[in-house]
Amino acid sequence: MNKSSGLTYRKDYISEQRWPWWPLLPLYPYGRRRTLFKELIPDQIWSFEQLQGLYYVAVPVRLTVVKVAGGLMLFNPLPPTTELLENMTSLQKDYGPVLSIILPTASGLEHKISLPALSRAFPRAELWVSPGLWSFPFDLPLDFLGIPSNRTKTLFKDGLPHEDSCTWFSLGPLNLGLGRFQEISCFHKLSKSILVTDALVGIQAEPPDLFELDPTPLLFHSREKGSEPLIDTIQARKKGWARLVLFASYLRPGKLSIPPIEFVLRNAFRSGVRSPRAHFGIYPFSWNEDWQESLKELMGEKSPLINIAPVLKRLVFPRAKDSFSKWLDQISNLKGLRWLIPAHYSAPIAFNPSDAKRLKQKLFSSAWTSEKGDWSFLDGLDRFLFKNGVVPKDPLEGFKD
Ligand SMILES: [Fe+2]
């Protein structure tokens, strides 16, 4: 056991949580990926969650395992640590082999990055990827990326997997200039669940269970300045979580300022924060007193608030609202729909066709976004890209029939 950091965990777990490929996309928590395994819908759907983020702004990323005819389907890859694979082995004993791995997004780097390693862990599984998969900074063929082309198919172009268990439909494609946005959704008929990637999120005020394994990111962001030590309380966890959500949603929240460097340094390297875990007391943020006002739009107090992810709302869909509206209509028409399972934040979330209609009504009856407040940074970014011709005027350009 290791108790030196205030946390208790088995030392031998560290090797089971190792992710050697982390330098490919150097996100927190780097080479050590703790995984939370959960059954979401009894005997039908399971989830593996890991944290991914920058400067402790880390939100859960999910691999969803779905029971299909004859075995299991993995939806959205995650780094296959020993810990994850051990749980997968016991699932396979009970429910059959992993038949397929689905990468349902063309653009979501945090989902793409672990497909090669996951495909090597399941050498007999068929791989299905989103149309228009692209790599950055160079657009390379699949085999160069470590994705074996001899067992890889493209969704829709080469057919669709598990059609007896699933219905598939697409959000996009849209031309983002730098690459394509497209995500493929899956309706699992038996559990009545819709699986999405980034387009919809459901966020709750309660921090996700995954932080039980290590609440450091929450405690780090719950403070007002770098000299405050990281103290683990329920209130600190909730406060830190709310701020993480604001960062992850708006990149630079409106009620945040960057203090002068002298202020940051004056509060750094103090006793109690002189450790890598506390980033040596370097905390370059200052929150306005009314920062919690921004949470109303983002998170539900008792249950997750379902919404389009703000980054996508402002950077992907401002000129393609119709595509989003049509996609929501398709969801509203799924008979018997009961659950929403996104690749981030809470899952499963109760979600029926009326909820989808209400969400559409809410989104399309008021201004799409604003130029001010929390939206200001994303708004400026989109305007800059648009003005400089990076983003095309018509995001459907090249995709029209
Ligand atoms: Fe994502």
Beta partners for 64?
A: 47, 75
- Give residue 133 CA to ligand 1 midpoint distance, Å: 14
Nearest-angstrom CA–CA distance, 127 and 161: 10
Q: 223 and 290 share a domain?
A: yes
Same domain, 173 and 57: yes
CATH assignment at residue 178: 3.60.15.10
Distance 312 CA to ligand 1 centre (A): 10
Q: What is the pLDDT of residue 136?
A: 59
Q: How far is the CA of 111 from the centre of ligand 1 (A)?
A: 6
- Rounded percentage of the chain residues whose pLDDT exceeds 70: 93
Instruction: Note whether residue 290 is domain-resident.
Output: yes
Residue 350: CB partners within 8 Å, gap ≥ 6?
A: 303, 338, 339, 340
Ligand 1 center to 271 CA (angstroms):
37
pLDDT of residue 387: 81
Give yes or no for residue 3 having a pLDDT over 70: no
Tokens of 91: 């699932």
Distance 347 CA to ligand 1 centre (A): 14
Strands (E), 7-54: 36-41, 45-54
The pTM assigned to this predicted structure is 0.89
Q: Give the pLDDT band (50/70/90) at residue 4.
A: very low
Please report where in the chains the tokens 């969803």 appear, as a residue. 64
How close is the Cα of 262 to the center of ligand 1, in Å? 36
Distance separating alpha carbons of residues 71 and 89, to the nearest angstrom: 12
- Between these two residues, 146 and 93, which has the higher pLDDT value? 93
206 CA distance to ligand 1 middle (Å): 20
The interaxial angle of helices 321-332 and 353-364, nearest 10 deg, is: 160
Measure 107 CA to ligand 1 centroid, in angstroms: 9
Q: What is the Cα Rg of the chain in Å?
A: 21
Q: What are phi and psi for residue 123, nearest 5 degrees?
A: -65, -15
Residues 318 and 191 in one domain: yes
Q: Which two tokens stand for residue 43?
A: 């005997």
Same domain, 76 and 140: yes
Q: Please state which of the ranges 24-28, 82-86, 319-323 shows the lowest mean pLDDT.
A: 24-28
CA of 264 to the centre of ligand 1 (A): 31
Domain hosting 116: range is: 35-204+303-361
Give residue 2's pLDDT band: very low, low, confident or very high (50, 70, 90): very low
Per the prediction, the chain carries an average pLDDT of 87
CA of 197 relative to ligand 1 center, distance in Å:
6
Q: Is residue 205 predicted with pLDDT exceeding 60?
A: yes
CA of 195 to the centre of ligand 1 (A): 13
Shared-domain flag, residues 291 and 329 = no
Last residue of a domain, one of 297, 320, 346: 297
Is 323 a residue whose pLDDT tops 90? yes
My answer on whether 325 and 179 are in the same domain is yes
The answer on 217 and 139 residing in a single domain is: no
Q: Say if residue 199 is in the same domain as residue 216.
A: no
Cβ distance 78 to 63 under 8 Å?
Answer: yes
Structural domains counted in the chain: 2
pLDDT tens digit string along 330-382? 999 999 999 999 999 999 999 999 999 999 999 999 888 888 888 888 888 88
Residue 1, pLDDT > 50, answer no
State the distance from the centre of ligand 1 to the C-alpha of 109, rounded, in angstroms.
Answer: 7
| Strand partners of residue 300 | 204
Same domain, 293 and 307: no
Q: What is the pLDDT of residue 139?
A: 64
Question: 178 and 314 in one domain?
Answer: yes
Residue 52 alpha carbon to ligand 1 centre in Å: 10
Q: Report the range of poorest mean pLDDT among 14-18, 100-104, 261-265.
A: 261-265
Half-sphere exposure of 188 (CA within 13 A, CB side): 26
Q: Which residue has the tokens 């306005």?
A: 288
**Would you state the pLDDT for residue 193?**
98
- Higher local confidence (pLDDT), 387 or 268: 387
Residue corresponding to tokens 């810990």: 83
Strand order in the sheet with 180-188: 166-175, 180-188, 193-195, 339-341, 349-350
Alpha helices in 251-375 (DSSP H): 261-266, 310-315, 321-332, 353-364
Which of 297, 316, 340 lies at the terminal end of a domain, its last residue? 297
Contacts of 21 (CB under 8 A, 6+ apart): 79, 113, 114, 117
- 297 or 4, which is more confident: 297
Query: Is 4 within the bounds of a domain?
Result: no
Give the Å distance between the CA of 5 and the centre of ligand 1. 30
CA of 62 to the centre of ligand 1 (A): 9
Residue 156 and residue 265 in one domain:
no
